[in-house]
Copies of this chain bind each other. A is one copy, B any other.
Amino acid sequence: MENNSIFIEKLRSSGLRPTKQRLEICKLLFDRKKTFHFTIGDLSKILKKETNKKISLATIYNTVHSFKKKGYLKEISINRDKSYFDTNTSNHHHFLDIDTNELIDLKKEDVDKIKIRKNLPGKKIQSIEVLVKVENNN
């Protein structure tokens, strides 16, 4: 039904069998237009509310990490308290509102290309992440 086939393909290509729990997670993560920033805790709460069943944390962790490994989700390190994930896997940066702990995408064109003038012998750059912390203006 509907675009489940897309989700099934996403799961299969991540090495996961499509199960109803995982399809619920897919629906929640990938059936949306805007970027979605979330923690595992967020996801768990929303899933419980939307489906009226509880999907165990272990399943959610497992699924999210498989998607991350496959590249369907990006992990964003902000603080030690929680790990954030981002459904926008393109190259982009973030604002972090330190008053609300909200993450906001910066589009590619919002930040000039970063040039690093130093390199480490034997090492290559894997990613460049910019985090712009913002606070109330008063």
Contacts and interface: CB of A to CB of B under 8 A. Distances in A.
A137 interface: yes
Contacts of A78: 77
A123 B135 contact: yes
Interface residues of A, number: 39
Interface string A101-138: 00010110111101111101011111111111111110
Instruction: Count chain B CB atoms within 10 A of each CB in A80, A115, A132 and give the residue with the most.
Output: A132
Interface of A: 77-83, 95, 97-98, 104, 106-107, 109-112, 114-118, 120, 122-137
Contacts of A133: 125-129
A114 B111 contact: yes
